[in-house]
Amino acid sequence: MVHRAIASDPESALQRARGFRQQVQARGIDLMPWEGWPLRPFFFPRASLQALAVQLTSALDAWREKASRATPEELSQRLGLNLEFLRRIETGPSFLAPEFASYLRPDGFFFSDHYDLVELNFANGLIVSNAYTEILADFHAQDPTLPWAESPRPFQAYLDHIESYLPREREEKPLIGLLSFQEEYDTIHSWEKRVADMVLLGRDLFHQRGLDTVVLHERDVEVGPSGKAVVKETGRALDLIVQITINTSFMDRPELFENEFALWKGSRVGSTPLLSPLSGLCLDKGTLPWLAEHLTPTEFRIAIPSTHIPTPEREVEYRLRREEWVLKRSFDGKDTHAGCSTPGRQWNKVVARAIANGGYVMQRYRPMPTTVVPVTPDGESIHWLEVSFELSPFIIDGRFAGGAVRYAPKARGLVMSPPPPGMGFALAAAV
């Protein structure tokens, strides 16, 4: 496979990495430990990456056209989502809005002829992992032997997309609202310092493009006399609002959409676009069975492992054949258990809880692809390590716009979120 065939000289990359990491850390930015630092990108065939982007976008376009005609009751039954939330937000028109489906970042497993799509991460919650790609892109840009110039930089592609929503001729610096539910913003700042550093770095990258930003919480915005969304505290108009956390907390209080949250129902706040609308919360792992119906096979194809809501009737099957299944949260939060790597008693407990409480999907287990990469445990020595890896392509308006790779020492039933011991984070390069 192409990602194994191309590599820069690891020794030279290690020498560059020492100086580069020192420069970044001197700016007060925390980085992943040495064992998680990639000495080279992962390389993939450009044609396959573009075919993946086109096929997923086409399937999503067909899905949202179908879903836009569904009633809240039908959506709730099909997806297992809170009916009261679906009744109070705008679904149909928002599903069809350009802001809904223009930016995607799925997770899956890349093979020579197909991509196993195992999770849909929608156009919110992007800034942390995406900002880290810019650090890695700066590092790899120092290596003249890499065919790097032709590969898109994910965060720069994201900023290009942001600017496409702004007037070309503008008299003053645009203001971008970064929407995060207050509780979720407080949570990410309670995690390790690197997470908060990436939020700050992401804002810096906006500012380097000449775009002002302001972090907004659910009650910080109103519609001004001009019809545009404005920041309550300053009265300044917002040109665009993007989401920087997943914002599933909005789903917990659907009654507030009758008054306090009314601004956030649709794809716009006043006349200001919201990228992406909260209706995007309807697109996640629990949507995969429905999305699978709209995939059109191509030479390089997307495959969605069999995914369904777990039922009491199949509980004995899940217990006896646990190595065949992975249990995941369907929409809200992260809680993943691979049956083949989860002890039997623990597996039985989480399966019983999922069936009783809902909010989970059962997905057919698919092994990750593997490759061999140079890894340094200490910044001094290099080990060639066999790893399992997961590819997350960034897809903008149907085109591949860069990608990220999570990898860790090869293991059966590996779960990448939360990060396992020894996880690395690399860039995907198209060649």
Average pLDDT taken over every residue of the chain: 93
Check pLDDT > 60 for residue 402.
Answer: yes
Mean pLDDT of 208-223: 96
Residue 12: helix, strand or coil by DSSP? helix
Q: How many whole angstroms separate alpha carbon 361 and alpha carbon 333?
A: 12
Between CA 163 and CA 174 the distance in angstroms is 9
Stretch 46-72: mean pLDDT: 96
For 217-234, what is the mean pLDDT?
A: 96
pLDDT higher than threshold 70 for residue 196: yes
pLDDT of 124: 60
How far CA 161 is from CA of 138, 206, 332, in Å, comes to 20, 12, 26
Confidence (pLDDT) at 293: 96
Strands (E), 182-228: 212-216, 221-223
CA angle (419, 422, 427) in 5-degree steps: 75
Instruction: Give the pLDDT confidence of 1-56 residue by residue, as tens digits.
Output: 444 434 568 889 999 999 999 999 999 999 999 999 999 999 999 999 999 999 99
Residue 128 has pLDDT above 80, yes or no: yes
Looking at residue 149, its pLDDT comes to 60
pLDDT digit string, tens, across residues 248-281: 999 999 999 999 999 999 999 999 999 989 999 9
Spatial neighbors of 290 by CB under 8 A, at least 6 apart, are 63, 67, 78, 79
Provide the token pair at 363: 């997905």
Mean pLDDT of 298-318: 96
Q: For residue 378, give both structure tokens.
A: 């200490």
Contact status, residue 302 vs residue 56, Cβ threshold 8 Å: yes
| Res 1: pLDDT | 46
**129, HSE (Cβ side, Cα atoms, 13 Å):** 25
Entry pTM: 0.93
Average pLDDT of the segment spanning 315-334: 95
Rounded to an integer, the average pLDDT of 184-197 is 90
**b/e burial code for range 10-38 (CB count within 10 A of at least 16 → b):** beebbebbeebbeebeeeebebbebbbbb
The answer, yes or no, to whether residue 144 has pLDDT greater than 90, is: no
Q: Is the separation of the CB atoms in 60 and 101 below 8 Å?
A: yes
DSSP states along 406-422: EEEE--TT---SSPPTT
Q: What letters, b where the CB count within 10 A reaches 16 and e where it falls short, cover 226-256? A: eebbbbeeeeebbbbbbbbbbbbbbbeebee
* Alpha-carbon torsion angle 279, 281, 286, 291, nearest 10: 50
Spell out the residues 6+ positions from residue 137 whose beta carbon is closer than 8 angstroms to its own.
148, 153, 154, 155, 156, 427
Least confident span in 5-14, 71-80, 189-198, 201-210:
5-14
**How far is C-alpha 399 from the geometric centre of its chain's CA atoms?**
16
Cβ atoms of residues 164 and 236 within 8 Å: no
